Amino acid sequence: MSKPIKVAVIYGSVRNGRLCDAVAGWVADRVEARADYTLDVIDPLAEGLTDLRGTDGATEKAIAARLSRSDAFIVVTPEYNHSFPAALKHFIDGFNEPWHAKPVAFVSYGGLSGGSRAVEQLRQIFAELHATTIRQVVSFPNVWAHFDPQHRWRDMERGDRNLNVLLTQLRWWASALRDARAGADYRTVS
Ligand SMILES: Cc1cc2nc3c(=O)[nH]c(=O)nc-3n(C[C@H](O)[C@H](O)[C@H](O)COP(=O)(O)O)c2cc1C
């Protein structure tokens, strides 16, 4: 097998009591269980990067380096008012080159739509950042129904199946683009 893909799982919600801990935690667990990936987890709340004021600059530099080292991203996002959370936009906007020429996959959740409107809008943002988004999405409509009151998953069989497909497709893109970046510097392509 080729070198493992370095993937960063990115938290989309910074809300108190967020379900994102449970959803992103599940994604991270499943990624860790696979030999074809190595995992980084980036939580803008834990890093203090929830708005564009940023920090003293050192945190941004450290996160930029982690994003730059990553071959692929999985953004775990809820839907807020038919879009994605403002804090996630701030986080994405805080970086530019680290996103370039890399694939982005989504795990989304929410009410009726399962976060699909958040995902469709994120595709536009990542196109501007020279990233490619992959079609396969794992989404959880009526996300509350998937948890008990302690935010423990009830049944992950369908989720596990869908996430495995997503991870296999993401690996294809990440591997192809990693080879392409190694062959030619994307910044010089015009
Ligand atoms: C401000 C706000 C707006 C929301 N708007 C939508 C919406 O437009 N569509 C939807 O399906 N769910 C909506 N929801 C439900 C969220 O997707 C759901 O509560 C989810 O758990 C929020 O993610 P979090 O707990 O990780 O922050 C909204 C929730 C909040 C807090």
Instruction: Give the number of domains in the chain.
Output: 1
Question: What was the pLDDT predicted at 151?
Answer: 81
The mean pLDDT value for 144-165 works out to: 89
Q: How far apart are CA 71 and CA 4, in angstroms?
A: 10
CA of 40 to the centre of ligand 1 (A): 25
Mean pLDDT computed over 161-167: 97
CB 9 within 8 A of CB 27: yes
Residue 10 in this model has a pLDDT that exceeds 90: yes
Work out the average pLDDT over 25-39: 97
Mean local confidence (pLDDT), 172-188:
95
Sheet of strand 132-140: strand arrangement: 37-42, 5-11, 72-78, 103-109, 132-140
Q: Give pLDDT, residue 149.
A: 83
Is residue 1 very low, low, confident or very high in pLDDT (cuts 50, 70, 90)? Answer: low
Parent domain of 9: 5-188
Q: Is 113 in the pocket of ligand 1 (CB under 6 A)?
A: yes
Q: Reply yes or no on whether the pLDDT at 187 is more than 90.
A: no
13 within ligand 1 shell (Cβ under 6 A): yes
Mean pLDDT score, 82-108: 97
Indicate whether residue 43 lines ligand 1 (CB < 6 A): no
Beta carbon of 28 within 6 Å of any ligand 1 atom:
no
Which atom of ligand 1 is nearest to 112's Cα? 11
- pLDDT tens for 53-93 read 877 789 999 999 999 999 999 999 999 999 999 999 999 99
Q: Which residue has a Cα nearest atom 27 of ligand 1?
A: 18
CATH number at residue 121: 3.40.50.360
